[in-house]
């Protein structure tokens, strides 16, 4: 297994260099420069020229690329043009907000989506199955931003139960200091024993979490259903039923186990997608994560920020994929022996 | 201990339910302190350093820092701020400011001429943001209460000292700590509010400066929370629910009427120095033809732009600068007249198959797109084909600066950096690499602009006369059309009083805000 892991890590480095190159080229071949945006209202030509020189934007593209690789090699991602803060610092501040939201969403998707999928498969072609499949299609079809806004209207506008946006209420954020140990506010507020802050954080995460979960749950449910339907027709399952084994045991111990590898793939891909794809939920709910950060970076030609987040997301995606691949070894003994 | 998967799942499900239940059973937001006001804004502060800040952050910074002088647009004159009096030498090269005594920075350090010299020296040396306004001045502080600013050419340093961007006074200690310190969300000014918290992309918290030199009447907000909310509809929801007291959102014009019907919300439509000039490229065919340019100025339906596209929240320009600006004069402006336009087009000598122009609508701004479409439709009636060019501001501006990639008409939002109607930025030939987007090169106009600029500090009447002649020539040459003078819209809760603005400053002065009865 070790050679396999080493091989994958080498491939990861190659992929990352590829991502770096493509991102650099895409951001630099666009016409114009971001300097005009970053210098404010009415910069003078001298100021524009000075900043272009400082950023190396007056150099030929290939020299900019070499300079860029050198900077990245030293861990310098530069400063964001839009926030004037170091990109790594920006990503660091926003990363855990995204991780908290997407990880919880992933947990919800697994805990809700997989049982629903199993239920739908077990009751295949029954009214329950039809309802689940219809809702899945509806869930996939409903745009995330619309779902988010509907939830806002319902739970903030009409019922007044939940906060509209942000990660914490202003006054709680101001008056309840708790140490950022993990950057996950739910965990940190609990560690600090600050229940007011914890409840406030919990209330704020409910709607973006529901939006992300509901938008991505149908895929998990449908995948589980389809895999299970297939497995349930296998001879060894039919044999198990014929032997009179308890149905619950057959479903969870024998059938579900056979679906784990493709299911792990779906879960891994979904998690990777959520990290970068939480953009809509983050934007609608002003969740201060990297999704909303990268959208603004891309639309306003903030090269360093766009490149920094892209590299980070690419790395995260690759690591998640590697982790999933390694989990295959764990769940399938045949692979360990191969 | 026996391990049961079912029990583990049950516990997990119970914990999840408990989390959701906890969330549902708590109050949506804790009660606000009586003297806390919440303002929502769509954009976070980018540059905390007053030497660099040159954008939207002035909304916040102008409540933390004071300038030496403050412009009062309503009165049309400068008022004392940190300087109580000032004078200029006969040659307009040396300005002497007498400072207000016993003023302290938020950190407790005294405000002295030496402190302001340190700050100005740093600003001028850095030469970022709007620091060009100081013209590389040399600053001296002969005593604690006297500041002298000397320039190579006569400059209106009294007006520059009142600017929204480049004139905020901060302490020597802050200057010493430098840009990195500022950028972590630190400030040390003399203004009515102190910066106490900045959580990037979430909120900015300002606390009342009890020792503010301007004093307090009572009832003002002890704490201002500026909440960063990117989506306008979310900002308005917060305003409607009472979670926010005021918003700096750029409210879509078609929503203003709806909001005005809400008894809990008040919309203030206030004067602004922002306007929409549309430079016409004087060097690019076919707009290098005078009569062709003049024809274009008659194709624009100014009334429809102000009444329909801006929904009445803009006015038809009566001159090349908004009437709200100090020194603005009325001129005989071109009117929407397609018959005259047609005649001018025919007289221009430009062959009809070349009646094609490019028109820029940058940044996906709805108003600019709608104006472009309106112009396109009217131009079609007189046989002019208009190609609308869309793109990001930075890209389009960069292209327009270079003649070989420029367009024929380039409308953009503009406002002055301080209280002046100086046409230099838009129409002096040297500014072609910056904001002379008409590529307008007329030596006589350059001379008038230069003469006026030299006189602005010492002879305002003569200065105004020179600039009026320059503007008249610009209008005669149809180097730009002036499409609309825009207003500012501020939406706030009906019970919020003291919403005080001055077009000289793109902000609301928080120190006057209070809830009714408060």
**For the segment B106-150, what is each residue's pLDDT rounded down to a tens digit?**
999 999 999 999 999 999 999 888 888 998 899 999 999 999 999
- Dihedral class, residue B206 (left if φ above 0, else alpha if ψ from -120 to 50, else beta): beta
Does pLDDT of B318 surpass 80? yes
Output the pLDDT for position A338.
Answer: 60
Distances (CA, A) of B345 to A147, B251, B299, B359, B477: 53, 38, 11, 17, 15
Tokens found for residue B415:
């406002």
Q: Which helix (H) or strand (E) holds A26?
A: helix A2-28
Tokens found for residue A58:
């007056």
B243 contacts on A by Cβ (under 8 Å): 164
Residues B111 and B102: beta-carbon distance below 8 Å: no
Each residue's pLDDT tens digit, A286-330: 898 888 788 878 777 787 888 888 888 888 888 888 888 888 888
Each residue's pLDDT tens digit, B90-99: 999 999 999 9
* DSSP code, position B100: P
- Best of B29, B49, B165 to substitute, by most chain A Cβ atoms within 10 angstroms, is B29
Residue B295 three-state SS: helix
Does pLDDT of B474 surpass 90? yes
Instruction: Nearest by CB to B398, from A32, A41, A288: name it.
Output: A32
Does pLDDT of B425 surpass 60? yes
Burial class (CB in 10 A: 0-12, 13-18, 19+), B381: exposed
Residue A226 three-state SS: helix
Q: For strand B480-486 and strand B314-315, is the pairing parallel, antiparallel, or unpaired?
A: antiparallel
Output the pLDDT for position A133.
Answer: 85
Cβ burial B235-272 (10 Å sphere, 16+ → b, else e): bbbbbbeebbbbbbbebebebbeebeeeeebbbeeebb
Of the two residues B280 and A54, the one the predictor is more confident about is: B280
Output the pLDDT for position A212.
Answer: 92
Residues A251 and A75: beta-carbon distance below 8 Å: no
Each residue's pLDDT tens digit, B175-225: 999 999 999 999 999 999 999 999 888 899 999 999 999 999 988 999 999
Q: Average pLDDT, whole number, for chain B?
A: 90
Each residue's pLDDT tens digit, B6-34: 555 555 555 555 555 554 444 444 444 46
Each residue's pLDDT tens digit, B30-52: 444 468 999 999 888 989 999 99
Cα–chain-centroid distance for residue B90? Answer: 33
Angstroms from A20 CA to nearest CA on chain B: 23
Direct distance between the N- and C-terminal alpha carbons of chain A, in angstroms, rounded to an integer: 10
Q: Give the residue on A whose Cα is nearest the Cα of B9.
A: A111
Contact A36 B433 (CB under 8 A): no
Q: How many CB pairs under 8 A join A and B?
A: 167
Residues A109 and A270: beta-carbon distance below 8 Å: yes
Distance CA B268, CA B58 (A): 20
Contact A161 B24 (CB under 8 A): yes
Output the pLDDT for position B1.
Answer: 39
What strands, in cross-sheet order, belong to the sheet with B94-99? B83-88, B94-99, B146-150, B138-143
ipTM, 2 dp: 0.70
| Positions in chain A short of pLDDT 70 | 30-34, 36-38, 40-41, 336-338
Angstroms from A334 CA to nearest CA on chain B: 25
Output the pLDDT for position B433.
Answer: 66
Angstroms from A211 CA to nearest CA on chain B: 14
What pairs with residue B104 in β-bridges?
B110
Direct distance between the N- and C-terminal alpha carbons of chain B, in angstroms, rounded to an integer: 63
Each residue's pLDDT tens digit, B360-404: 998 778 899 999 999 999 999 999 999 999 887 877 888 898 898
B415 contacts on A by Cβ (under 8 Å): 41
Burial class (CB in 10 A: 0-12, 13-18, 19+), B357: buried
Query: Phi first, then psi: what are they for A271, rounded to 5°?
Result: -65, -45
What pairs with residue B80 in β-bridges?
B69
Output the pLDDT for position A32.
Answer: 59
Q: Give the residue on A whose Cα is nearest the Cα of B24.
A: A161
* DSSP code, position A76: -
Tokens found for residue B346:
């025919």
Output the pLDDT for position B55.
Answer: 83
Residue appearing with tokens 């014929």? A242
Q: How many CB atoms lie within 10 A of CB A285?
A: 31
Residue A143 three-state SS: coil
Residue appearing with tokens 């005078």? B290
- Best of A28, A40, A151 to substitute, by most chain B Cβ atoms within 10 angstroms, is A40
Distance CA B363, CA A15 (A): 34
Angstroms from B5 CA to nearest CA on chain A: 11
Residue appearing with tokens 């404010």? A40
Distance CA B241, CA A81 (A): 35
Residues B143 and B115: beta-carbon distance below 8 Å: no
Closest CA to B233 of B245, B254, B248, B249: B249
Distance CA B430, CA B436 (A): 8
Whole-number CA gyration radius for chain A = 24
Helix A303-331 and helix A290-299: axis angle, to 10°? 140
Residues B38 and A170: beta-carbon distance below 8 Å: yes
Output the pLDDT for position A52.
Answer: 81
Distance CA A260, CA A227 (A): 9
Distances (CA, A) of A6 to A269, A332, B347: 22, 20, 78
HSE-up of residue B40 (Cα within 13 Å, Cβ side): 30
Confidence category of residue B359, pLDDT binned at 50, 70, 90 = very high
Output the pLDDT for position B369.
Answer: 94
Model confidence, pTM: 0.80
Residues B113 and B147: beta-carbon distance below 8 Å: yes
Residue appearing with tokens 């006189």? B455
Q: For strand B275-279 and strand B480-486, is the pairing parallel, antiparallel, or unpaired?
A: antiparallel
Tokens found for residue A3:
């050679």
Q: Does B360 touch chain A (CB under 8 A)?
A: no
Each residue's pLDDT tens digit, A236-292: 999 998 999 998 888 888 888 888 888 888 888 888 888 877 888 888 898 988 887
Of the two residues B169 and A225, the one the predictor is more confident about is: B169
Contact B434 A163 (CB under 8 A): no
Alpha helices in B279-385 (DSSP H): 290-299, 302-304, 338-347, 366-381
Distance CA B223, CA B203 (A): 13
Distance CA A106, CA A100 (A): 10
Output the pLDDT for position B304.
Answer: 96
Query: Phi first, then psi: what are they for A58, rounded to 5°?
Result: -90, 5
HSE-up of residue B163 (Cα within 13 Å, Cβ side): 24
Q: Which helix (H) or strand (E) holds A330?
A: helix A303-331
| Dihedral sign computed on CA atoms, order A113, A116, A118, A120 | negative
A152 contacts on B by Cβ (under 8 Å): 234, 237
Distance CA B28, CA A200 (A): 8
Does pLDDT of B102 surpass 70? yes
What pairs with residue B386 in β-bridges?
B357
Instruction: Nearest by CB to B234, from A164, A168, A202: name it.
Output: A164
Q: Does B181 touch chain A (CB under 8 A)?
A: no
Q: Does B17 touch chain A (CB under 8 A)?
A: no
Residue appearing with tokens 């403050």? B70
Closest CA to A123 of A231, A219, A225: A225
Interface of B with A in 186-245 (CB under 8 A): 197, 199-203, 205, 225, 227-231, 233-234, 237-238, 241, 243
Whole-number CA gyration radius for chain B = 26
- Best of A92, A98, A170 to substitute, by most chain B Cβ atoms within 10 angstroms, is A170
The CA-based angle A135-A141-A147, given to 5 degrees, is 85
Cα–chain-centroid distance for residue A87? Answer: 19
């Amino acid at each position: 297994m070790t050679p396999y892991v080493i091989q994958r890590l080498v491939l990861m480095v190659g992929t990352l260099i590829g991502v770096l190159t493509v991102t650099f080229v895409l951001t630099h071949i666009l016409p114009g420069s971001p300097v005009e945006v970053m210098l404010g209202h009415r910069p003078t030509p001298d100021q524009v020229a000075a900043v272009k020189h400082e950023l190396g934007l007056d150099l030929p593209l290939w020299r900019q690329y070499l300079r860029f690789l050198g900077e990245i090699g030293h861990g310098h991602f530069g400063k964001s043009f839009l926030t004037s803060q170091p990109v790594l610092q920006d990503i660091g501040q926003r990363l855990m907000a995204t991780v908290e939201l997407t990880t919880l969403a992933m947990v919800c998707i697994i805990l809700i989506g997989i049982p629903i999928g199993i239920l739908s498969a077990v009751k295949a072609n029954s009214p329950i199955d039809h309802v689940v499949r219809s809702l899945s299609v509806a869930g996939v079809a409903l745009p995330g931003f619309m779902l988010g806004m509907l939830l806002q209207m319902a739970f903030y506008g009409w019922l007044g139960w939940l906060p509209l946006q942000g990660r914490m209420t202003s006054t709680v954020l101001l008056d309840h200091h708790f140490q950022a140990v993990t950057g996950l506010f739910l965990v940190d507020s609990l560690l600090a024993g600050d229940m007011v802050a914890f409840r406030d954080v919990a209330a704020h995460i409910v709607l973006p979490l529901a939006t992300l979960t509901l938008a991505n749950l149908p895929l998990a449910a449908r995948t589980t259903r389809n895999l299970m339907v297939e497995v349930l027709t296998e001879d060894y399952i039919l044999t198990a039923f014929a032997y009179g084994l308890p149905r619950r045991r057959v479903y969870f111990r024998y059938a579900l186990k056979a679906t784990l590898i493709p299911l792990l793939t779906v879960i891994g891909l979904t998690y990777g997608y959520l990290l970068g794809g939480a953009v809509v939920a983050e934007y609608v709910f002003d969740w201060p994560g990297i999704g909303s950060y990268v959208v603004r970076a891309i639309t306003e030609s903030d090269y360093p920020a766009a490149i920094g987040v892209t590299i980070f997301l690419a790395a995260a995606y690759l690591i998640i994929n590697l982790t999933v691949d390694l989990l295959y070894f764990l769940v399938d003994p045949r692979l360990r022996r191969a | 201990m026996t391990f049961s998967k079912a029990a583990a799942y049950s516990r997990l499900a119970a914990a999840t339910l408990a989390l959701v239940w906890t969330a549902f059973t708590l109050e949506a937001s804790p009660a606000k302190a009586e003297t806390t006001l919440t303002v929502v804004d769509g954009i976070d502060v980018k540059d905390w350093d007053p030497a660099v800040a040159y954008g939207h952050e002035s909304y916040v910074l102008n409540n933390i820092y004071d300038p030496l002088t403050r412009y009062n647009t309503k009165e049309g004159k400068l008022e004392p701020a940190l300087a109580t009096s000032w004078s200029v030498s006969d040659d307009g090269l040396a300005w002497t400011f007498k400072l207000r005594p016993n003023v302290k920075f938020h950190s407790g350090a005294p405000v002295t001429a030496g402190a302001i010299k340190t700050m100005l020296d740093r600003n001028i040396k850095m030469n970022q943001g709007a620091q060009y306004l100081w013209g590389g001045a040399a600053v001296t502080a002969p005593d604690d209460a006297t500041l002298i600013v000397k320039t190579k050419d006569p400059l209106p340093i009294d007006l520059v000292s009142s600017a929204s961007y480049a004139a905020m006074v901060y302490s020597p200690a802050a200057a010493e700590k430098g840009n990195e310190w500022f950028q972590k969300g630190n400030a040390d000014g003399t203004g009515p509010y102190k910066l106490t918290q900045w959580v990037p992309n979430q909120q900015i918290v300002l606390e009342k400066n009890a020792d503010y030199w301007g004093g307090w009447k009572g009832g003002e907000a002890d704490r201002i929370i500026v909440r960063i909310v990117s989506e306008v509809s979310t900002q308005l929801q917060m305003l409607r629910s009472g979670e926010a007291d005021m918003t700096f959102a750029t409210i879509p014009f078609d929503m203003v009427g709806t909001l005005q019907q809400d008894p809990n919300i008040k919309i203030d439509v206030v004067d602004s120095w922002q306007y929409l000039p549309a430079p016409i490229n004087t060097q690019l065919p076919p707009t290098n033809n005078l009569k062709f340019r003049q024809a274009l100025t008659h194709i624009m339906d100014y009334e429809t732009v102000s009444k329909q596209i801006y929904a009445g929240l803009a006015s038809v320009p009566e001159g090349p600068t908004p009437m709200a600006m100090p020194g603005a004069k009325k001129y005989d402006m071109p009117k929407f007249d397609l018959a005259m336009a047609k005649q001018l087009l025919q007289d221009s000598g430009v062959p009809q198959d070349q009646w094609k122009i490019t028109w820029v609508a940058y940044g996906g701004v709805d108003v600019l797109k709608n104006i472009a479409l309106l112009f396109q439709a009217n131009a079609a009636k007189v046989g002019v084909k208009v190609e609308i060019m869309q793109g990001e501001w930075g890209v389009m501006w960069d292209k327009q600066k270079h003649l070989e990639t420029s367009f024929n008409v380039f409308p953009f939002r503009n406002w002055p950096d301080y209280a002046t109607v100086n046409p230099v930025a838009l129409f002096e030939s040297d500014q072609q690499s910056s904001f002379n987007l008409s590529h307008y090169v007329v030596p006589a106009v350059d001379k008038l602009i230069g003469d006026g600029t030299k006189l602005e500090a010492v002879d305002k009447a003569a200065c105004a006369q020179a600039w009026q002649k320059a503007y008249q020539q610009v209008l005669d040459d149809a180097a730009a059309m002036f499409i609309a003078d825009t207003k500012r819209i501020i939406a706030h809760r009906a019970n919020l009083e003291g919403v005080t603005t001055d077009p000289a400053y793109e902000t609301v002065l928080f120190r006057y805000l209070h809830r009714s009865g408060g």
